Amino acid sequence: MFGYIRPLKSELKVKELELFKAAYCGLCNTLKKNYGYPARFLINYDFTFLAMLLSSGDKTCGFEHRRCSASPFRKKCACSQTPSFELCADYSMILYYWKLRDSYKDGSLKEKIRAGAALLLLRGAYKKARKKAPGFDEKVSSKLMELSELEKSGGASIDAAADKFADILRAAAEKSDKPAERRALEQLLYHVGRQIYILDAVDDMERDLKAGLYNAVALRFGIKDGKITQSAKEELKTTLSHSAALAASAYELLETGMWSPILTNIIYLGIPSVTELVLGSERRGRKKFTEKTETI
């Protein structure tokens, strides 16, 4: 779906990179085990980040070596299922289902056909996830509805649009039963979610303009051809840097255990690197950033 919240791999130690891969594979295996083979295609870096972040309080996190369709001949090391990985699998299914509903409702004919087929395929899995995380499901549905109404009104406020999506990710902090930890998680996830929304809007801008779809960044800066002016880039960098700083401040209040080196890399190196790449890429005729780089 997204995939912007990732580490800067060149700055990870070998053992840290292998641990990150194990987390990615662990979430993928959890999706398959809980929701069937098609659910594996929901895996992305953003929810891998969330799984590691929420796993810091888990008492155990074992590892196992197993083959999969992506590596049929060589076993890969993967994190064993934990409550946090299962919760992130639930969240992934719920968010993806509601995004499909949104595409089916407001997308092009081609998108409607694809979304409709996927909705039928995943309906049973969604119902299962909804029973396991009803609070998150309610938050996703209500905030996406609010976002849809904002889009229909043609609102040009990036903050207003980003706030709706950021509130969805903030709801993932419901797992914590410690007030101080929960507040820090909510702050961190809100600002990470805000960055995801803005980066995705920049990345999708050319396609949205061609399809006549809502794009908060294009409306805010009056962009018609998909090209961002230097002044617009600087303004976007400023607001993204502000959210990054607030996310980092909240992160410093959390105990992240064995995942600390990877999460620190993501917060201080990975997100700024992705921001520079997305804002600095040539817009016309290119693939989305995540389509080119979503590999592990």
pLDDT tens for 195-220 read 999 999 999 998 889 888 899 999 99
Would 4 be classed as within a structural domain?
no
Would 296 be classed as within a structural domain?
no
Range of the domain at 49: 9-287
Indicate which CATH number applies to the domain containing 46. 1.10.600.10
Alpha-carbon distance of 34 to 160, in angstroms, equals 35
Would 73 be classed as within a structural domain?
yes
Are the C-beta atoms of 190 and 139 separated by less than 8 Å? no
User: Residue 229: how many CA atoms within 13 Å on its side-chain side?
Assistant: 9
- Find the mean pLDDT for residues 135-161: 90
Cβ neighbours around 80 below 10 Å, total = 14
Would 19 be classed as within a structural domain?
yes
Model-wide pTM > 0.75: yes
**b/e per residue, 111-134, with b = 16+ CB within 10 A?**
beeebeebeeebeebbeebbebbe
Residue 76's beta-bridge partner residues?
A: 66
Residue 68's beta-bridge partner residues?
A: 71
The pLDDT, as a whole number, for residue 85 is 92
Would 260 be classed as within a structural domain?
yes
The pLDDT, as a whole number, for residue 250 is 97
Would 245 be classed as within a structural domain?
yes
Does the pLDDT value for residue 284 go beyond 80?
no
The pLDDT, as a whole number, for residue 281 is 64
pLDDT band at 130 (very low <50, low <70, confident <90, very high): very high
Does the pLDDT value for residue 60 go beyond 90?
no
Would 163 be classed as within a structural domain?
yes
The pLDDT, as a whole number, for residue 52 is 93
List all residues 6 or more positions away from 213 whose beta carbon is below 8 Å from its beta carbon. 106, 107, 207
- Condensed to tens digits (0 to 9), the pLDDT of residues 230-263 reads 999 999 999 999 999 999 999 999 988 889 999 9
Supply the mean pLDDT for the chain.
88
Greater pLDDT, 49 or 280: 49
- Could you tell me what percentage of the chain is helix, strand and coil, using 3-state DSSP and rounding each to the nearest 5? 75, 5, 20
Would 293 be classed as within a structural domain?
no
Cβ neighbours around 269 below 10 Å, total = 16
CA-CA-CA-CA torsion for 187, 188, 194, 200, nearest 10 degrees? -170
The pLDDT, as a whole number, for residue 7 is 96
How many domains in the chain?
1
Ranges 108-117, 133-142, 159-168, 284-293: which has the least confidence: 284-293
Does the pLDDT value for residue 59 go beyond 90?
no
The pLDDT, as a whole number, for residue 212 is 86
